[in-house]
Amino acid sequence: MKAVSIGSDGQAYVENRPTPALTSPDDVLIRIAYSGVCGSDLPRIFHGGAHFYPITLGHEFSGHVVEAGSGVNHVKPGSPVACVPLLPCFQCEECERGYYSLCKRYNFVGSRQHGGNAEYIVVNKNNVFLLPDNVSLLQGAFFEPITVGLHALLLAGGCKDKHVTIIGAGTIGLLALQCANAMGAASVTAIDINDDKLDLALRLGASHVYNSKSESAEQIRESSLDRRFNQLLLETAGTPQTVELALNVAGPRAQVALVGTLHQDLTLSQTAFGLILRKELSILGSWMNYSAPWPGEEWRLAAELFTQKRIDLQPLIANIENPEGFAEKIMALKGKPMNGKLLMKINE
């Protein structure tokens, strides 16, 4: 089968590998349809951040079941599925409480084992989410990124009647924006430093947008005074500046959900720290996208939102490529901010 692999030299290339086969009754063989590149893959490609090389990445993919072991009940050959990349141990105390994202003994498809940038993959039955009838395979490849935002929104107790602010209008942010609207937010504000992304946010349902390069935190706060109570902010950009911006623009007693991972140290000024106290902010960390019962409410809600056509994916897609084009486009991501989702289409 064809697979797009990454070498330790940071090169993406198409290779031929034997098609994997089931080795356990709990295994499922999937013929992949769509597989996307995640921002979290970039360090694995360009900065030696993968667990081994050469590696086939890909944890955001969909496809059809070809073969299922005797211990698999929820899918059968022909079932359309999305990948649930985490495989927690299901035995530790964190797992017993349903805190699957916090499990310490886990496997992960597309980082600790080969992923979905290939024609076929074998995964455990718990890594397989059955797609409802009217959810497409293309939508299937977006379950992973959409559930990241949904996890944060659910940890915050939902967003009904809340004034939601999304900081960072990348894939995760623009998906979370649409989820917040669908989940009954009173308003949804997007903040970014890129006007094109903010235009997209408006098209996708943002009620207000601000460019934090041209508008200061004070200006943003001043112009949203009528929306200052009952706020939920989602920080998805993962930079020290945007974390501090979140604290600055937050209203009294706002919830600040931190979703983006930092790639450098964050030093908070005394004043910024004081804002947490003086505004009585609730700071909430959000990690991955799982809850009980496995894989979680996030995944069922994503299926519902896709079924109800509440999520527009087309504007979020930069390219859909065959394996050769996909490998080329991966190399073109080097040193640049991700601008829309790059996907491989291999079968359908």
The reply to whether 103 sits near Zn ion by the rule CB under 5 A is yes
Cβ proximity to Zn ion, 88 vs 149, nearer residue:
88
The nearer residue to Zn ion, 38 or 344, going by C-beta atoms, is: 38
Number of residues that bind Zn ion (CB under 5 A): 7
Minimum CB distance to Zn ion, residue 94 (Å): 5
As measured in angstroms, the least distance from the Cβ of 90 to Zn ion is 6
- 172 near Zn ion, judged by CB under 5 A: no
CA 306 to mean position of chain CA atoms: 15
Strand partners, 256: 233, 283
Residue 89 within binding range of Zn ion, rule CB under 5 A: yes
Which span sits near Zn ion by CB under 5 A: 74-82, 132-140, 142-150, 309-317?
142-150
Kindly give, in sequence order, each residue whose CB lies less than 8 Å from that of residue 288, ignoring residues fewer than 6 positions away.
Answer: 86, 100, 101, 148, 151
Shorter beta-carbon distance to Zn ion: residue 144 or 298: 144
Question: Nearer to Zn ion by C-beta: 175 or 180?
Answer: 175
> 293: cis peptide before it, omega within 30°?
yes
Instruction: Enter the DSSP assignment of 7.
Output: -
Which C-beta is closer to Zn ion: that of 89 or that of 331?
A: 89
Residue 311 and residue 175 in contact, taking contact as beta carbons nearer than 8 Å: yes
Least distance to Zn ion, CB of residue 105, Å: 5
CA–CA separation, 216 and 213 (whole Å): 7
How many CB atoms are closer than 10 A to CB 316? 19
- Considering only 95, 123, 164, 311, the residue that binds Zn ion (CB under 5 A) is 95
Cα–Cα distance for residue pair 122/141, rounded to 1 Å:
17
- Interface residues with Zn ion (CB under 5 A)? 38, 88-89, 92, 95, 103, 144
